[in-house]
Structure 1
Amino acid sequence: MKFINFNVKECLLIAGGAAIGICYGRVADNLPPSSKVIDVLKSNGISTTRIFNADGPTLQSFSGTGISLMIGVPNEILPSLASGTALFSLQWLETNILSHLPSFQVRYIAVGNEVFSIDPFYSPYVVPAMINLYHALQVLNLTDSIKLSSPQAASVLSISYPPSAGTFNPYLQSVMVPLLRFLDSTKSPFMINVYPYISYLNSFESVTLDYALFRSGDNEIQDGGLTYGNLFDASVDAVVYAMEREGFAGIPLVVTETGWPTSGGLAASKENALAYNGNVVRRVLSDVGTPKIPGRGVEVYLFDLFDENGKGGEEYEKHFGIFGLDGMKLYDLAFN
């Protein structure tokens, strides 16, 4: 078995501070080659990217680029990782990730995606799989540089308004509490996918477009002594309150997906996508945090690099791309 060396200094440089990343979804049959994708990322100053599965050729294309990655473990792999030994997890890591990519470019391993809400069959396997992967990282002396977590949908909350009432779905407690315990003990972040656009669609009679797009003006919402001028902050803080309610204050939070579609649905346009994503980028880069956690930068991954014509569901789900297939921006979004 081959063990991969890593550069501690480079790893620490990648890991410091809040960052803006982008999701590289690949559910499409018309995407440009990986070499073109790397050019798009580097020319726009995007230094961290989320890849949803450990595809060898894709990882190889990122090797040596200096772009750090969040790499996904597909939901269907979780039972094997959970029931296998730590040696099996070590072999999986070596074969599927570290044989293709220097370890210092791996920022996070995302174990499953939206399992608790969208794919509940796999829920019992999430934390056991994470524990086995953690033991494998221990063998490799990588637990400080590579963090494990599991991105969840915002629907894991049964109450999200007002933010201070944020509460996890009680039916998920048997899997949520062990996840929080693992994250707390390993100093890893809670990962959440936040889509104010979808909240607006589902509740447009009570959630205004201005509130979803960071332009609520005088129509701010008061929650105790805190003031909320946008739905993004309110959604993030609802998760923070929910973690506190379970006894886990202080776990950092990473928004692993957020974005706004350019077409295919109500209020989906390039103008609104620019307004939303532009405000998210500015907030992250200025480290303003949220009303609940002011001054604590929240790391965010924008969704999506390109439109994905193979996505199912509503038409708007195919149109979150920030860049066209030619690599040019669909709208004038700055990443730095």
Structure 2
Amino acid sequence: MATFIGRIAFLHALLIFSFSLSGYGFLRGVESLGINYGQVGNNLPPPERVLELLQSFKLTKARIYDTNPQILTAFSNSGIELIVTVENQILGELRDPQQALQWVSTRIKPYFPATRITGIAVGNEVFTGGDMTIMANLLPAMVSIHGALVRLGLDPYIQVSTPSSLAVLSESYPPSAGCFTSELAGIMPQYLQFLANTKAPFWINAYPYFAYNDDPNGISLNYALLNPNSGMIDPYTKLHYDNMLYAQVDAVIFAAARMGFGGLEVRVSETGWPSKGDTNEVGATIENAAIYNRNLLRRQLAKEGTPLRPNNRLEVYLFALFNEDLKPGPTSERNYGLFQPDETMVYNVGLSALSSTSVDLFIDLFSDFFSYHFSNLLSHPGNTIAPPIYYRY
């Protein structure tokens, strides 16, 4: 009875704060949170069912790894913002402006604006893929695709960028030491200039899991999982970091600043944690995956920015929507999904709390959210968030 009364009292408090909660995104979905919708599986639901799944959890942004016409058609008039991808292997063709114009005219224009395409990812992790030919084709293809968007009047609505892995950095610790590898010294300034000219973001695939797996004895699991912890203070900026993801993002910002582009926006195009792995994949457990993604959702609900840019909400795309059984590589690669192909949850990350019909989960996530931030406050009672700092070198 006491538990029941306590939950009723807590629900009453939720109702009192309902207006402020809507500001945190509970009632509208999380505006800065997207999901990566991969299709490397032979048992995935059709796009129409995927759309219903996204809508049921109030997810309003998604990224796909091609321009699948079935998906583009299914997502028509749904309001979901969609990033599409140019596959690495066709970048050589699209460096030709005429080929790029034909590609945009047939792959993008027929679906827009009914399908709300907001970005084109030109390739994926090209800078660190090891194929010098594809890398040489990347920037010309981006320029040609953007030129085609301009010609068709679509450039105000659709951004052009390319997702990069964190391996583009030679240094990332502390964040203020962030710098790009010497191998990219020729192309990176041109790429950053393109982003600045077109007002497009730098997309980074950031996975604290990889760093922890490589050095589980040297890296705190709580720091990697976004759990409350003492964190670290950057010795040069004196900024406090309580999680690795934000440190990785700020390292990219510093690396861009070193090349004179400190004003670029950085967005996380992929991040996640595998729920299963091989015996040598340390930390790849369902418990850790649930903790990481649940903590990330809490921070998204709080509209957090990084310590370097606390007033700029960080846009993040979770990897991934489904476990994909045909992905090559270690076991972890097939186990990043929040959902099984039959649409059941791999684990409860708290997305159900975004549904107005899920009162219990709503209460649980609200309780966890405030417990989390209260524990952080107790850990750092004198900690204040510094204003944004932009360094140019």
TM-score with structure 1 length normalisation?
Answer: 0.90
**1:147-296 to 2 correspondences below 5 Å:** 147-224=159-236, 225-264=238-277, 265-296=281-312
Equivalent residue for 2:147, pick from 135, 147, 155: 135
Alpha-carbon contact 2:175-2:234 (below 8 Å) kept: no
1:119 Cα deviation from its structure 2 partner:
4.4
Q: C-alpha deviations, 1:269-296, integer Å up to 9, x for none?
A: 2221121112222223322201111111
Aligned-partner Cα distance in 2 for 1:180–1:285: 30
Alpha-carbon distance in 2 for matches of 1:30, 1:326: 8
Whether the aligned pair in 2 keeps the contact of 1:153 and 1:192 (CA below 8 Å) is yes
CA offset digits 1:218-249 (Å, max 9, x no partner): 34344331111111111111001000011001
2:75, 2:115 within 8 Å by CA — same for their partners in 1?
Answer: no
Q: Which deviations, in whole Å up to 9, do the C-alpha atoms of 1:8-55 show, x marking residues without a partner?
A: xxxxxxxxx961000001111111111111111010001110000112
Confirm or deny: 8 A CA contact 1:166 1:241 kept in the other structure: yes
Q: 1:95 matched to which residue of 2?
A: 106
Paired with 1:215 and 1:44, the residues of 2 have a C-alpha distance of 24
What is the distance in 2 between the residues matched to 1:250 and 1:120?
Answer: 30
Which segment drifts farther, 236-245 or 169-178?
Answer: 169-178
* 1:78-130 per-position Cα deviation (integer Å, ceiling 9, x unaligned): 11111x12x32121112122224536601110001000101433111111111
Look up the SS of the partner of 1:21 in the other structure.
Answer: strand
- Displacement of 1:251: 0.5
Q: Quick one: which amino acid aligns to residue 133 of structure 1?
A: I
Question: What are the superposed Cα offsets for residues 193-213 of structure 1, whole Å, 9 maximum, x if unpaired?
Answer: 000001111121211211101
1:53 counterpart (62, 66, 70): 66
**Please, which of 329, 343, 349 is the counterpart of residue 313 of structure 1?**
329
CA distance in 2, matches of 1:191, 1:70: 12
Q: What CA distance in whole angstroms lies between the structure 2 residues aligned with 1:328 and 1:266? A: 25
SS in 1 for 2:210: helix
Aligned equivalents of 1:235 and 1:262: distance in 2?
Answer: 22
TM-score under structure 2 normalisation?
A: 0.78
Kindly, what percent of the aligned residue pairs are identical? Answer: 41
Query: Which residue pairs with 2:388 in the alignment?
Result: none
Which residue matches 2:48? 35
Give aligned pairs, total: 318
CA contact (8 A) 1:303 1:320 kept: yes
Q: Which amino acid aligns with 1:99?
A: P
Q: SS of the counterpart of 2:186?
A: helix
Aligned to 2:187, what secondary structure does the other structure show? Answer: helix
Q: Is the 8 A contact 1:60 1:101 kept in 2?
A: no
Larger Rg: 2
Could you say what secondary structure the match of 2:275 adopts?
Answer: coil
Q: Which has the higher contact order (CA 8 A, sep 6+)?
A: 1
SS in 2 for 1:98: coil
Aligned to 2:127, the other structure's residue is in SS state: helix
Is the contact between residue 36 and residue 327 of structure 1 (CA under 8 Å) also seen in structure 2? no
- Code of the residue aligned with 2:338 in structure 1: it is I
Contact 1:18/1:298 (8 A) holds in 2:
no
1:79 alignment partner in structure 2: 92
Could you say which residue in structure 2 is the equivalent of 1:8? Answer: none
| CA distance in 2: counterparts of 1:210 and 1:270, whole angstroms | 15
Distance 1:321 1:49 in 2: 14
